[in-house]
C-alpha cells in the first residue's frame, strides 16, 4: 500500500499477518480482503476513497500473501475468517464492515455466517458460496504448476483470466498488468496452495440464510459464472442486493473503478 498508512504485523490465529491501518476515521472500521495471488495493494483506490469518506481502513494481507508471514498447509476458509477476527481483536475493534473479492469474498461469506455479531455490513465481490466439482478440479493443474515452478509461472495466464486477453495485452494496461504479475510472483507457494485447497472445499451455500446484515453482492459482468451465482445468492439473503459492473471481469475494482466505486459510495452512504 503506497498511502503512508501504518504497516502493522499482527499475531493472530497462530499467523503473522500484515495489516495496513489508516488509524483515523470516525464513521466505523472497514476490513478489506483481497483475491488469491494478490495482496491488499489491489484495494488502494477503494481504501483511499473510503478513508476520505470518514472510515478507518484495515487492509489485510491474507496468510502467505503480500507481506504476511509464511504459512503451513491444511487450513480452511473458516481458519482464514478466524484470521480476520484475530486481527480485529488484536487491534481492539469489536465490529467492522467487510469488503472481500474472490477468495476474500468467500472469507466474507463465512464471516457473515459464523461471526454475524462482529460485522455491520458486507460487500462480497466476484465469488460464490459453493464449489461445483468441475470448478474444484480446475484448481489441480494450477496447484501442481505452483508446486513445481513457483507462483510466478502462473502470472501470464492468471491476469488473462482475471481481465480478459484483450485487456491484459493492451499496451495501455501494461503497468497495471505488470503490478499484478509482481503480486502473483511474490505469493508464497504454501500461501497459494493452501488457499486453493481451501477454495476446493468451499461449502457455505447451505448456511447462507444466517447472513442477516446489509450485504452488497458485486461482480464484473464478464466474470464467467459469478454474476449468475451472486444474483441467485442475493435472493437468499434478507438484506442483499446484487450489482453488476459493466465492461469488467474478475477484478472490477481495477477494470472499471468508477462504476465499482459508485457501488461503494451507495453502500456506505458517501
Residue 67: inside a domain:
yes
The enclosing domain of 76 has a CATH number of 3.40.50.1820
Residue 127 domain-assigned (yes or no): yes
Residue-wise pLDDT for 42-64, tens only, equals 999 999 999 999 999 999 999 99
Say how many domains are in the chain. 1
Is residue 214, in this structure, part of any structural domain at all?
Answer: yes
Decide if 239 contacts 215 (C-beta within 8 A): yes
Longest Cα pair distance anywhere in the chain, in angstroms? 47
Cα–Cα nearest to 24, from 46, 1, 44, 53: 53
**Which grid coordinates are listed for 12?**
493472530
- 144 lies in a domain? no
For residue 157, what is the enclosing H or E element? helix 155-163
**Residues for the chain: how many in total?**
270
- The per-residue pLDDT for range 4-49, each reduced to its tens digit, is 689 999 999 999 999 999 999 999 999 999 999 999 999 999 999 9
CA distance 52 to 203: 36
Which whole-number Å values give the CA distances from 115 to 6, 17, 98, 111, 260, in the listed order? 26, 20, 12, 5, 26
In a domain, 160, yes or no: no
Residue-wise pLDDT for 140-191, tens only, equals: 999 999 999 999 999 999 999 999 999 989 999 999 999 999 999 999 999 9
Look at residue 71 and tell me if it is in a domain.
yes
- pLDDT computed for residue 207 by the predictor: 96
Query: What is the reported pTM?
Result: 0.96
| Residue 162 placed within a domain | no
Percentage of the residues of the chain whose pLDDT score is greater than 90: 97
Return d(Cα 207, Cα 252) in angstroms, integer: 27
HSE at residue 161, side-chain half, CA atoms within 13 A, is 13
Structural domain boundaries enclosing 102: 6-132+201-268
| Contact (Cβ atoms closer than 8 angstroms) between residue 196 and residue 143 | yes
Domain membership flag for residue 151: no
The number of helix segments (H) and strand segments (E) in the chain equals 12, 8
Amino acid at each position: 500500500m503506497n498511502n503512508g498508512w501504518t504497516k502493522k504485523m499482527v499475531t493472530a490465529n497462530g499467523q503473522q499477518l500484515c495489516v495496513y491501518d489508516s488509524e483515523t476515521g470516525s464513521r466505523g472500521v472497514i476490513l478489506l480482503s483481497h483475491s488469491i495471488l494478490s495482496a491488499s495493494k489491489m484495494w488502494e483506490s477503494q481504501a483511499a476513497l473510503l478513508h476520505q469518506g470518514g472510515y478507518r481502513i484495515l487492509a489485510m494481507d491474507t496468510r502467505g500473501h503480500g507481506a504476511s508471514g509464511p504459512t503451513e498447509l491444511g487450513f480452511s476458509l473458516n481458519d482464514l475468517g478466524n484470521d480476520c477476527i484475530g486481527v480485529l481483536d488484536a487491534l481492539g475493534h469489536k465490529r467492522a464492515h467487510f469488503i472481500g473479492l474472490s477468495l476474500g469474498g468467500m472469507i466474507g461469506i463465512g464471516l457473515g455466517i459464523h461471526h454475524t455479531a462482529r460485522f455491520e455490513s458486507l460487500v462480497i465481490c466476484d465469488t460464490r458460496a459453493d464449489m461445483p466439482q468441475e470448478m474444484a478440479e480446475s484448481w489441480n493443474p494450477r496447484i501442481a504448476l505452483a508446486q513445481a515452478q513457483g507462483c510466478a509461472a502462473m502470472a501470464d495466464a492468471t491476469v488473462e483470466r482475471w481481465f480478459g486477453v484483450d485487456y491484459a495485452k493492451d499496451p495501455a494496461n501494461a503497468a497495471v498488468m505488470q503490478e499484478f504479475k509482481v503480486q502473483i510472483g511474490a505469493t508464497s507457494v504454501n500461501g497459494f496452495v493452501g488457499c486453493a485447497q481451501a477454495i476446493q472445499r468451499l461449502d457455505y451455500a447451505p448456511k447462507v440464510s444466517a447472513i442477516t446484515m446489509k450485504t452488497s453482492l458485486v461482480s464484473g459482468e464478464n466474470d464467467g459464472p459469478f454474476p449468475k451465482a451472486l444474483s441467485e445468492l442475493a435472493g437468499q439473503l434478507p438484506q442483499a442486493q446484487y450489482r453488476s459492473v459493466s465492461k469488467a471481469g474478475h477484478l472490477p475494482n481495477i477494470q472499471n473503478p468508477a462504476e465499482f466505486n459508485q457501488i461503494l459510495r451507495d453502500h456506505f452512504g458517501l
